[in-house]
Amino acid sequence: MNDTQELGTANTDFVRALAKGLAVIEAFDAQSPAMTLSDVARKTGLSRGTARRLLLTLVELGYTGFDGKLFSLKPRVLNLGFAFLHSHNVWQLAQPYLVEAVAKLHESCSIAVLDGADIVYVARVPTAERIMSINLGLGTRLPAQATSLGRVLLAYRPPGEVEELLQRTGALKKYTPRTITNPGELMEALKQVRKQGWALIDQELELGLRSLAVPIFDFTGCAVAALNIGTQASRWTVSALQKDAQPVLKTTAQSTSALLSPGKAA
């Protein structure tokens, strides 16, 4: 994109400067934790002049740092994410339900929401056992295609919306030999998830990891989040997850869904 067409909209209420500033923040990630001015301009599609003004403004506000060559995000940027979490304290209210589920299953329990092609963790109760090599915490993003949380959330989206998302995402990444990378096969898997009401992922994101997720609904019946447990394949068989874990998660999800009724999370 470029300065004349990026973030374009006919809406007269749209503030381009704000959109560009957010695009600069989102340009930083695990692969690009520190970048030069040219790097940011190239990654965002903004001109060097625009990128420079935005970066220096973010430096002045304390959201980015600059060492004379490289720009990088500073801890203050976390305030943006925590503002969402704090304004949606339903996830804090759900913690006791997650703790109860972890106590019954002896596995980590998490809640995530969908953001584009990724899931974002908004609540999590871990176990003492280390499950994944990925460090999971609030705000962690993982690919929706290869996670049980993501499969559930995608399954309850309109098929046309999911197909459009897959087209924008491009080729599906292969994380393990088990990962579904064919869009048609993934769409069929999503149909099955919606039909049965849960998703089970068997070592598609990381070898040795299995997870099972169920949807969390708001008072309108929309699946706004998903709840799962992640476990080692050596500890739980696929059939045991379906038979023993799924009912516990379903009950926990129902209790959490009740919090999303009007006035409950105020």
CA-to-CA dists, residue 163 to 76, 157, 158, 170, angstroms: 36, 10, 9, 11
**What pLDDT was estimated at residue 104?**
93
Counting residues of the chain whose pLDDT is more than 90, the rounded percentage is 54
Averaged pLDDT, 151-165: 89
Longest Cα separation, the chain: 59
CB-facing half-sphere around the CA of 167: CA atoms within 13 A: 6
Closest by CA to 246, choosing from 211, 202, 218, is 211
Counting residues of the chain whose pLDDT is more than 70, the rounded percentage is 85
Which stretch, 13-27, 136-150, 185-199, has highest mean pLDDT? 185-199
**What pLDDT was estimated at residue 51?**
95
**What pLDDT was estimated at residue 255?**
92
- Angle, helices 159-169/183-196, rounded to nearest 10 degrees: 140
CATH number (3.30.70.80, 3.30.450.40, 3.40.50.10490, 3.40.50.1240) of 88-258 reads 3.30.450.40
Averaged pLDDT, 223-236: 91
Q: Is 1 a residue whose pLDDT tops 60?
A: no
Provide the pLDDT confidence category of residue 161 given band limits of 50, 70 and 90.
Answer: confident
Averaged pLDDT, 231-257: 93
Please state the domain extents for the chain: 16-76, 88-258
Of the two residues 116 and 135, the one the predictor is more confident about is 116
Query: Looking at the domain 16-76, which fold is it?
Result: Arc Repressor Mutant, subunit A (1.10.10)
**What pLDDT was estimated at residue 266?**
44
Same fold yes or no, 16-76 and 88-258: no
- The answer to whether 125 and 179 have CB atoms below 8 angstroms apart is no
